[in-house]
Amino acid sequence: MSLIDHVDASTQLAKNNEVQLLVFKASSGVDSPFYAINVFKTREVVEAKNHFLTEIPSSHPFLEGTIVLRGVQIPILNLPLWLDHPITYEEVVTSRLLICDFNGIIIGLRITEAHRVIKKNWADMHAPDAYNLNDGSKVVNDTRLEDGSLCLVLDFEQLLADVIPSAMVNVDQSPENIKNLIVPDKLLYGTLLIAEDSKVAQKHLHLLLERADVKHKIFNNGKLLMNYIYDLPDKSVIPAIVTDIEMPEMSGFTVIRLIKEEPETANIPIIVNSSMTGDNNRREAEALGADGFVNKTKSHDILPLVIKLMKEKGET
């Protein structure tokens, strides 16, 4: 499958509230847990022993060093160590490197086994409250394999925030002073609604909006957001909606479709805030009716964009 076909297939899956996952293990042993990552965020799996690792002095303990793959220098993160399950030297020798692309940043994750690729409906992905007990939770949701085994989907944004914080949004960066913006009354006195499953992304959005004195409510997935909206007696009070694409229970694409197909909510500005930043995902979001698209590393652009879109829709 070509890269373009791969992107097209991934976008079509998300559009249908589905996701394709690469299932892998980060430690050996029959009882070691299965983990998963969206295939769209992966590039390839290579044998670690075939690539020379250059250590970086005074680097983060989870950052093992870098390899050069096809002329590109790639940082290698020790996923087992981050998961508090360090592997043995023998396991390191036989390990694999999962090469991933997060927001255009290429990294390698050390794993022990690439198991297989599965397709799941987001309705089959679950996010128990246990995963939200603390800000540093490393698991964002889970699903079941055909044999009943539990498969955990990791919060890779939390991993990046821990090891390569420069890859995440800078919450201190403000492209415009909120005091210089004329904020529509509906936003000034209303509540911005957000669907986002990553705890670290939630924290960044909260800090950005809190500093701007913008009231907001964050939901752990699209289904919770939609349930809240359905229960609102007057939906016209919603100033705008921000949604991620990848979420358990209901994808962001499904959120956009449901919002835009109902007359009561169709005029509400909806912005996608995602790490799935490919052109195809942008086009699909726009085709479904999204009013804007913001890369997660530039979440500080959300508020100015919300205000711009609200003004374009006649809000003053």
Q: Which two tokens stand for residue 130?
A: 């246990």
Q: Give the side-chain half-sphere CA count within 13 A for 133.
A: 4
Which of 166, 189, 219 represents a domain boundary (last residue)?
A: 166
Domain count, the chain: 2
> The domain spanning residue 216 has which CATH number?
3.40.50.2300
Q: Are 270 and 243 in contact (CB under 8 A)?
A: yes
Distance CA 127, CA 244 (A): 15
Q: What is the pLDDT of residue 23?
A: 95
Average pLDDT of adjacent 10-residue blocks, the chain of 316 residues = 41 70 88 89 93 91 94 94 92 94 87 92 82 73 92 89 76 56 87 92 89 92 95 95 91 92 94 78 85 87 92 83
Same domain, 43 and 115: yes
Same domain, 102 and 225: no
Q: Which domain holds residue 101?
A: 3-166
Q: How many CB atoms lie within 10 A of CB 160?
A: 21
Which of 112, 137, 166 represents a domain boundary (last residue)?
A: 166
Same domain, 134 and 10: yes
Longest Cα–Cα distance in the chain: 64
Burial code of 214-223, b = ≥16 C-beta within 10 A, e = fewer?
bebebbbbbb
